[in-house]
A and B are shown apart, each in its own frame.
Chain A
Amino acid sequence: MPVKIGIPRSLLYYKYFPLWKTFFEGLGAEVEVSGPTTKAVVQEGVKLCVDEACLPVKVAFGHVASLKEKVDYIFIPRLVSVSPREYICPKFLGFPDMVRNSVHGLPGIIDTNINLYRREGDLYGQFLEAASPICRNPLKVAAALRSAVGELKRFNGRVESGMLPENAFRVQEEKFPFQAENRGTVALVGHPYNIYDNYINMNLIGRLDEARVRVVTADNVPEPVVNMYAGTLSKRLFWTLGRRMVGAAYHFLDNPRIDGIIHVASFACGPDSMTGDLIERRARRAGNKPFLNLTLDEHTGEAGVVTRIEAFLDMIDMKMGVDAGVGDWGLELGVGTQNTELRTQNSELRI
């Protein structure tokens, strides 16, 4: 019987799943992913986790709990740093310890430190440690890691070409999954585990898709572009995900093909409180695109989200009408083409 490794469908699953899956399968293990987030998963997570943690961490607890009886090991690496001189959120650094102290009846835990803070960070050594419960053959580990890194690169390429991670996991090649005919393009800016988890964000991407809106995310923006825009900050951001979000958002503000930006944050998220402010402030100064700030927590009500998305899309319609100069909205409101006031509308209510 092959060893069964459980991977929670949460946190950086949306960024690194192909790497982890290919790696463990290359070692001869079987990989089991927890199911999509459901109400039961959230409730279990809320029960196990401290109140003060953010929704994605609570959801991750729920996913870990849902795996604990099904697998031999749960893979929850301690993600210290995935990029030189950058960290992720402190909660990622303490996540394995938080789980160990709060969830009972756990199977084995693989919580290798993944730390690439220093440029010479030893990725191979770290994965050798992660592999140790399954396979101690260094050659096999090196081969598995090599093919896993290759798989991750191909996955990243698919995501950069415009695919959403969940689609990019499954398919090798596909046309852009959204309808081409659209009402405009909206950029979603937020942590991957918030914007791609359809349960916790109330199917935000699906709703936008239904409304014939094209969606792009920070992950669709190539790294050099992100870095160029993030480089305009007065100090380098030390959070990898935050740097990506800010860089991509600044790019979206500059990109005429983007008609509006939705910033998705979790309630009480530490990095978002800073990066969100940096983004919103620049969006307001530029004043050329509708900007919606959605805050998610386990109490978020669906109706509130729907109303706010509708209001936001109305703003996009108005803006496109104004930009085109002949839109119904422009005529109806008698604003003509010169009016810039409509463009600066900013929806900031919180749900």
Chain B
Amino acid sequence: MLEENAPKILEVEGLKQYFNVGKADEVKAVDDISFDVYKGETFGLVGESGSGKTTTGRAISHLYEPTAGKIIFDGKDVSKLRHKAQKQQFRSDIQTIFQDPYASLNPRMKVEDIVAEGIDINHLAKDKEDRKHQVEDLLETVGLNKEHANRYPHEFSGGQRQRIGIARALAVKPKFIIADEPISALDVSIQAQVVNLLKDLQKKRKLTYLFIAHDLSMVKYISDRIGVMHYGRMLEIADADELYANPLHDYTRSLLSAVPVPDPEYERSRQAFDYDASKEDDGKNRKLVEIAPRHYVRASEDEIDMYKQRLKK
């Protein structure tokens, strides 16, 4: 959990990630977003498909060269890492857990080799014995048996595969984990198991998470702070409880009003709230403004008062 005055581990400044630049089909997948992530916290990123949340995650792990803007990890600009050793360190520090546990594990590799791939590349094991030992430790950490090391991915259920993916991410002792929809492909009862495991690992290993998801109830449960994205822009950032108690941006409101709740009485009285996205493109200059402490919303100069009023209600 987030401690008071925790240092920043990640700073994203004015990140733009465009594809097909200069062509007719140019896509502004991420359009000038800025946010910080503090050491030890879980930062949730929510938004619809196409909102740019996955692209943001990929840009942070430097799978793309940003069109503009800076990504500063642990005090260093990610784009300016030149030495091989620095780059390798960075790639171990940031690890990703992927959405689809069926597609993200090589079906021809044994679990031991999948988990140990990072160990091999970074030469983290002294000898074969040590490598085996490390893998077994990792498997037990994520709630699997060491006997599982000699099996192939197809012998596991979805939840178990996701555990293998988590073990692989932990193998290189990362500081920061990008979890991109890590539970969306799993059954409800298994989702809770994996979320509990992620929380437990965070506590034990002092990890920082960027948790990307579209399931708003789960995001609220796991995150300390949440950023809401839409059309490549960051519309609102606040502490998880605050965001759900006092959503300021119309888009956040519409998103929250659409979450199905397992409570028939609530559902019968549900009021849907529609959002008109064209408002965002009226040409006004908007940026993230801190309306209340730690609560930011994307607003133009003349909207600030309106949002302050909204918060008072």
A, B co-complexed: no
Q: Which chain A residues have a beta carbon within 8 Å of chain B's beta carbons? A: none
